[in-house]
Structure 1
Amino acid sequence: MNLLLTVFEIVAPVFLLAGIGFAWVKLGFEYRLQFVTRLAVTIAVPSLIFVALMQTNIPGGDLTRFTFAAIASQVALAVGFWVFVRVTGMEQRTYLAPLIFGNTGNLGLPLCIFAFGQVGLGYAVIFLAVTALFSFTYGIYLVAGKGAFGKVLREPMVWATLLGALFLWRGWKTPLFLTNTLELLGQMAIPMMLITLGVAIARLTTQKLQQAIWLSFLKLVVCFGLGWVLALGFGLGPVAFGVLVLQMCTPVAVTSYLLAERFDADSDAVAGMVMVSTVLSVVTLPIILAIIL
């Protein structure tokens, strides 16, 4: 009973905030998705990442192991699902990116901080940074057929991660007034991302639900199994273990749909995967949390 209550206390705020965004749109209220998203990824999330890394008490060796585990997870998913797409004859431009990349920002960060606290957030932002690097380069290449390596250098999240890692390594701290300012900005990130996720889901439509259902189940099973194996293989501690598995099991990222729409892939199919996998996560993520806690 205590475990069920703990899991409920972790997941309820996450899905309630996403539900607020969903209901906001369905009630006909205005929500400027592009503006809020830009505010989040340019200011709020980078501030959250930088402060989380600067203030983390995670030993350097543990962070290094986790970083390599996160990189290995993305490479393994890319190789495994590339083989799957080639064997099944599915269109790579449409299906490979959503199968690889999960919603490690909007959904992963809140879950990790509620489940594992400040230390969990430190690990979660590392995983987010790794997936962002892959998404901004290989992910765009998959959908657009061309690289976007220059875009990585223009992303505030990337620089926030690098600076946060430098401050962590050197043991530096920003002046108190600046730290307090960045903390306030970072506190916007979690509710903003969750409400925006609900808004984005509310605005999606699709006609390809049947295919989306079995692909979403496949992604979840593969990601859970691979995350568990990698966490064991890299000898991760309890919190790092839980964060890796949880981040691996997040649903399809909304950015996969945006990229598919922008570069003329089958956005309807990707929208179906985003919707189904997110709804599925309402049931599966609490079960996964109960297993790893």
Structure 2
Amino acid sequence: MTLAFTVLTIVAPVFALAAIGFAWVRLGLDYDTDFVSRLAMNLAVPCLVFVALAQGDIDPGAAGQVTLATLVTYGAMFAAFRVVCAVLRLDLRTYWAPLVFGNTGNLGLPLALLAFGQVGLGYAVVVFSVTAILQFTLGIWLVSGGGNPLRALREPMVGATLLGALFLWRGWAVPEVALSSLDLVGQMGIPLMLLTLGVAVARMRPQGVLRMGVLSALKVVICAGLALAVGLAFGLDDTALAVMVVQFATPVAVSSYLLAVRYGADAPPVAGLVVVSTVMSVGALPLILAAFV
């Protein structure tokens, strides 16, 4: 009973904020997704990422180890889902990237912070940063059939990641006034992302619920299993291992749907994956967290 209550206290605020965004749209109230998304991804989240790295709550060596483990896990996931797409005869442009990339930002960061504190958030930021860079390079290339991999260099989040990593590696201290200001701006990021997640889910319609349910279940099992195996192989500490598994077990990212729309892939099935996998995560993520808390 105590374990169940602990897990509930971790996941309840996350899904409560998403539920507010969902209800807001269902009540017919306006929500400027474009403005809020730009504010979050171009300002709040970069500040959050920089502060989490620059504060030095994680050891630079451990951060490097998590980065390598994350890259290896993604390599294994790309291979695994290429096989899944071939066996199930799924269109690669539509399904391959969405099955690989999880919602490590909107959902993964809040879960890591609530479950494992600032140290957990630091590890989660590392996984999220690698995810974002890969999704905006290799992911765009897969969805579009030839996107520009240099696009990632124009993303503020990438610059914040590199700068924060430099401060972490060199042990540089950020002036207290600047750090407090950046931290305050960064604190907007998680609530904004969760509200937008709920709004996005409310505006989507699932396509082929049964098929999407099977693919969503496969995603959770494959991603969490590979993350666990790679994390153990790298000898990650308990917190880093838990954060990696939780991050990779997150549902299909809303950004996968946006990229499908922008680059001409078959968007409705991706929207279905986002909706169904997000709903399934309400049950799956607490079970995974229960194994680590």
TM-score range, shorter chain: over 0.9
Is the CA contact (8 Å cut-off) linking 1:208 and 1:268 kept in structure 2?
no
- Counterparts of 2:31 and 2:58 in 1: how far apart (Å)? 38
Question: What amino acid is the match of 2:187?
Answer: Q
CA distance in structure 2 between the aligned counterparts of 1:33 and 1:210, rounded to whole angstroms: 29
Equivalent in the alignment of 1:190: 190
Partner of 2:292: 292
**What amino acid sits opposite 1:256 in the alignment?**
S
Q: How far 1:258 moved relative to its partner?
A: 1.0
TM-score by length of 1: 0.98
Residue 133 of structure 1: how far off its partner (Å):
1.0
State the shift of 1:150 in Å: 2.1
User: Which residue of structure 1 lines up, in the alignment, with residue 77 of structure 2?
Assistant: 77
Q: Name the residue aligned to 2:34.
A: 34
What is the total number of aligned residue pairs between the two structures?
A: 293
Please give the secondary structure, in 1, of the residue aligned with 2:39. helix
Contact kept, 8 Å, 1:14 with 1:110, in 2: the verdict is yes
Q: Match for residue 270 of structure 2?
A: 270
Q: Shift in Å at residue 166 of structure 1?
A: 0.5
SS at match of 2:207: coil
Q: Matched residues in 2 for 1:56 and 1:100: separation?
A: 29
Q: What are the Cα deviations for residues 54-99 of structure 1, in whole angstroms up to 9, with x where unaligned?
A: 1133222211211100111111111111122123321000010111
Question: Which 5+ residue runs of structure 2 have no aligned equivalent?
Answer: none
> Which residue of structure 2 aligns with residue 212 of structure 1?
212
The aligned residue for residue 179 of structure 2 is 179
Note the alpha carbon deviations across 1:196-217, whole angstroms, 9 max, x for none: 1000000001332121010001
CA–CA distance in structure 1, aligned partners of residues 94 and 200 of structure 2: 19
Q: 2:212 & 2:144 partners in 1: Cα distance?
A: 22
Q: What is the alpha-carbon distance in structure 2 between the residues aligned to residue 225 and residue 170 of structure 1? A: 34
Amino acid at match of 2:35: F
8 A contact 2:207–2:271 mirrored in 1:
no
Give per-residue Cα distances to partners, 1:20-51, cap 9 Å, x unaligned: 00000000110000110000000000000000
Which shows bigger deviation, 65-74 or 103-112?
A: 65-74
**What RMSD, in angstroms, separates the aligned Cα atoms of the two structures?**
1.0
Tell me if structure 2 keeps the 8 A contact 1:56–1:118. no
1:144, 1:59 → 2: CA distance?
37
1:119-138 equivalences under 5 Å are 119-138=119-138
Residue 116 of structure 1 aligns with which residue? 116
Q: Which residue in the other structure is 2:48 paired with?
A: 48
Q: Quick one: distance in 2 between partners of 1:288 and 1:237?
A: 17
Separation in 1, partners of 2:127, 2:27: 35
Please name the residue that 1:281 is paired with.
281
SS at match of 1:67: helix
> How far has the Cα of 1:233 moved from its partner?
0.5
Per-residue deviation, 1:113: 0.4
- Output the CA distance in 2 between the equivalents of 1:212 and 1:142: 20
TM-score by length of 2: 0.98
Percent of aligned pairs sharing the same letter: 56
Q: Say yes or no: does 1:166 pair with 2:166.
A: yes
Name 1:221's counterpart in structure 2. Answer: 221
The alignment status of 1:23 with 2:23, answered yes or no, reads: yes
Q: Distance in 1 between matches of 2:289 and 2:62?
A: 22
Cα drift, residue 178 of structure 1: 1.0
